[in-house]
Amino acid sequence: NENEIYEQLKNAVLNIDEESSKAAVEAGLHEGLDPMSMIENGFAKGMVIVGDEFEAGRRFLPQLMMSAALMTESIEQLKESIEGEVTQETQGTIVIGTVEGDVHDIGKNIVKIFLGGNGFKLYDLGRDVLLHKFIEKAEEVNADIISTSALMTSTMQSQATLEEMLKEKGLKGKIKTMIGGAPITERWMKKIGADGCAENASEAVKVARQLM
Ligand code: HCB
């Protein structure tokens, strides 16, 4: 049953259990579950718990890295089925990446898959991306939106700097900005003048649609 599969996906990330993850992904696909729901209701839930336990000192960095690696691999396994499903016309063009100084890219990768799965054309610059690269790429591909991810209080400041850079270049408003990452709030979005923010990947799809 559906919830059992989500639970198994979540636990696979918690227990760093690759075999269980693979089995649950296969079972889910066989049952016809939406791959995106499997990511959001399964893996992402597990990663949030892993994060909380890490913060509470109940897990250590190597375990964190192993859960993160498992999650990345498992998402790869699901990516193909999501990409195979996209038939819509392009909804818009988005340049996406994690800001400079920040290597956290699990969330960014999920957001990318969801946006891509919902018809957006994505240019993924990866992680630890210099701010001027976001703007250069967005101009080059005539992007509608720049989506940045920042997971640390030290790197979220870059999202504010990006807004300033867009203003200076007269691009503010022409290229919309959408921000996300664990420390990102609506308050931060308003404070820095970003156009949208989202707490998770399905929310990001809604926000991106609104920005178009
Ligand atoms: Co990392 N780390 N980490 N980490 N890490 C955090 C972020 C801390 C909060 C943990 C803590 O100490 N409390 C912390 C930051 C503290 C702070 O803010 N000051 C931290 C630290 C300190 C560090 C290092 C410095 C640790 C060290 O080396 N001592 C180092 C950073 C190196 C660097 O970046 N320069 C580091 C390294 C790592 C890894 C490599 C072990 C691993 C990352 C692997 C990878 O990404 N490839 C890692 C992880 C996994 C985490 C936690 C546990 C989970 C992050 C995660 O993947 N969450 C995190 C704890 C936490 O976040 N509370 C911890 C799951 C995803 C699904 O959520 O929020 O990323 P998400 O994305 C969501 C959401 O935000 C939204 O949708 C996504 C999908 O639902 N969203 C968007 C994201 N981007 C969006 C963009 C949009 O436009 C719209 C929506």
SS3 at position 124: strand
Ramachandran category for residue 184: left, alpha or beta (phi over 0 → left; psi -120 to 50 → alpha): beta
DSSP state at residue 105:
-
Ramachandran angles phi, psi of 70, nearest 5°: -60, -45
Phi/psi of residue 4, nearest 5 degrees: -65, -40
- Distance from the alpha carbon of residue 192 to the mean position of ligand 1, in angstroms: 21
The alpha carbon dihedral of 200, 204, 206, 211 has a sign of positive
Q: What angle do CA 8, 19, 36 make, to 5 degrees?
A: 50
- Three-class SS of 139-208: HHHCCCEEEEECCCCCCCHHHHHHHHHHHHCCCECCEEEEEECCCCCHHHHHHHCCCEECCCHHHHHHHH
The Cα angle at residue 31 between residues 28 and 32, in degrees rounded to 5: 90
Report which ligand 1 atom has the smallest distance to the Cα of 101.
35
Model pLDDT, residue 85: 67
Record the tokens describing residue 48, joined without a space.
């949030």
Residue 206 Cα to ligand 1 midpoint, Å, equals: 23
Radius of gyration of the chain (CA): 17
ipTM of predicted assembly, 2 dp: 0.97
Rounded mean pLDDT for each run of 10 residues along the chain, 212 residues in total = 93 94 93 90 91 90 90 85 73 96 93 88 96 97 97 97 97 97 97 96 94 96
- Ligand 1 mean position, distance from CA 31 (Å): 31
Q: How many Å lie between the centroid of ligand 1 and the Cα of residue 121?
A: 25
Q: What pLDDT does residue 97 have?
A: 98
CA 71 to centroid of ligand 1, rounded, Å: 13
Closest approach atom of ligand 1 to CA 182: 69
pLDDT of the residue at 87: 66
* Nearest CA owner, ligand 1 atom 75: 181
State the sign of the Cα–Cα–Cα–Cα dihedral 193, 199, 200, 206. negative
Which residues have CB under 6 Å of ligand 1? 44, 47, 50-51, 54-55, 61, 64-65, 68, 101-108, 110-111, 147, 149, 151-154, 178-183, 198-201, 204
Q: How far apart are CA 4 and CA 1, in angstroms?
A: 5
Expressed in angstroms and rounded, the spacing between residue 170 Cα and the centre of ligand 1 is 32
Q: How far is CA 161 from the centre of its chain?
A: 21
Q: Given the CA of residue 152, which atom of ligand 1 is nearest to it?
A: 18
Q: Please report, as a single letter, which amino acid is at residue 14.
A: L
Contact indicator for 25, 77 with CB cutoff of 8 Å: yes
pLDDT score of 170: 96
Structure tokens at 179: 């921000």
Amino acid 86: pLDDT: 66
Take atom 40 of ligand 1 and give the residue whose Cα is closest: 65
